Amino acid sequence: MTTARSPAPVPDFLYGTAWKEDRTVALTELALRMGFRAIDTANQRRHYVEAGVGEGLAAAYRAGVVTRADLFLQTKFTYQRGQDHRLPFDPSAPLATQVAQSMASSLEHLGTDYVDSYVLHGPASGYDWTDDDAEVWAAMVKERDAGRARLLGVSNVSFEHLEQMAATGAEAPAFVQNRCFARFGWDRDVRAFCHDRRIVYQGFSLLTANPEVLRHPLLARIAARAGATPAQVVFRFALAVGMLPLTGTTNAEHMKQDLASRDLSISADEVGAIESLAG
């Protein structure tokens, strides 16, 4: 028997809610009806309607599709520089206060008293793990320790960010969420860092960042052999190399196909060939 406090385990697929604007409510509910149990969002109104995600969840709860305990909910803290004017915190407050305010607002948007994962949307600098990041991360750890998040993550990070973060003695993240380019060996260095430390690598833009892969004859061959689409093969590959993939599809058939990719059979040779395809 599940209770509100026996949280969903780490999922094998995330449904992403970016760029859906006024379709956010309906698409969140649809994704749950189609079988997704893990939702990614952010308290960043510029790209996400987190309150709409909460409305979609509420609709699914009312319809008896899922309960809160069935779900893995992930949201993010986004620095002011990644936001537009619709801020979920007082920008003149210290960063630690901004984190607390953003988290309180996320919980209100999502109609819950905890998230399963809380992610730093991106470090303050494209190059270094800065003192600001250290302050924000410490505030996120405090949120987690207070029970408002189960697990923590970082996003849009390089290998160097992760090394510098580790060198500060900071607690390691449970998740790294990155855009995954095949031409960089599918983010090989960051994935290796994660693998060595049992950090779960979440890959986004697996389709949109890699059009050359989707068009490649190798993918066409594997897809024909598996009775699947090239997009499904990319997701199956991602799972096979240990990624937790995200999809932001707005299409019910694609939702089904993306989840069904988990059941495709793919050989170790095929995984190796895709992994070395473009970098």
Which residue lies nearer to ligand NAP by CB, 62 or 81?
81
Pair 205, 184: CB distance under 8 Å: no
Which residue lies nearer to ligand NAP by CB, 40 or 268?
40
261 CB contacts (<8 Å, ≥6 apart)? Answer: 228, 231, 232, 233, 235, 236, 239
Stretch binding ligand NAP (CB under 6 A), from 56-64, 89-97, 161-169, 240-248: 240-248
CA distances from 55 to 58, 67, 155, 173 (A): 5, 14, 25, 29
Stretch binding ligand NAP (CB under 6 A), from 57-65, 124-132, 164-172, 203-211: 203-211
Which residue lies nearer to ligand NAP by CB, 43 or 249?
249
The verdict on 54 binding ligand NAP (CB under 6 A) reads no
Up-side HSE of residue 182: CA atoms within 13 Å toward CB?
24
The verdict on 102 binding ligand NAP (CB under 6 A) reads no
User: At its nearest, how many Å lie between ligand NAP and the CB of residue 112?
Assistant: 18
User: At its nearest, how many Å lie between ligand NAP and the CB of residue 1?
Assistant: 31
The verdict on 204 binding ligand NAP (CB under 6 A) reads yes
Q: Are strands 244-247 and 72-77 parallel, antiparallel or unpaired?
A: unpaired
Pair 154, 120: CB distance under 8 Å: yes
The verdict on 16 binding ligand NAP (CB under 6 A) reads yes
Pair 90, 98: CB distance under 8 Å: yes
For the record, the structure tokens of 270 come out as 């095929």
Which residue lies nearer to ligand NAP by CB, 5 or 127?
127
User: Among 110, 147, 173, which residue's Cα sits nearest to residue 5?
Assistant: 147
Give the one residue of 177, 187, 216, 219 binding ligand NAP; rule: CB under 6 A.
177
Stretch binding ligand NAP (CB under 6 A), from 3-11, 12-20, 88-96, 266-274: 12-20
Give the one residue of 32, 176, 207, 259 binding ligand NAP; rule: CB under 6 A.
207
User: At its nearest, how many Å lie between ligand NAP and the CB of residue 103?
Assistant: 17
Q: Number of residues in contact with ligand NAP, rule: CB under 6 A?
A: 24
User: At its nearest, how many Å lie between ligand NAP and the CB of residue 84?
Assistant: 15
The verdict on 220 binding ligand NAP (CB under 6 A) reads no
For the record, the structure tokens of 178 come out as 């990155």
For the record, the structure tokens of 92 come out as 């003149």
Alpha helices in the chain (DSSP H): 24-34, 50-62, 95-110, 131-145, 159-167, 188-196, 211-214, 217-226, 230-240, 252-260, 268-275
Give the other-Cβ count within 10 Å of 53's Cβ: 29
Give the one residue of 141, 254, 260, 278 binding ligand NAP; rule: CB under 6 A.
254
Q: Are strands 38-40 and 115-120 parallel, antiparallel or unpaired?
A: unpaired
Give the footprint of ligand NAP on this chain (CB under 6 A): 16-18, 40, 121, 155-156, 177, 204-208, 229, 231, 246-251, 254, 257-258
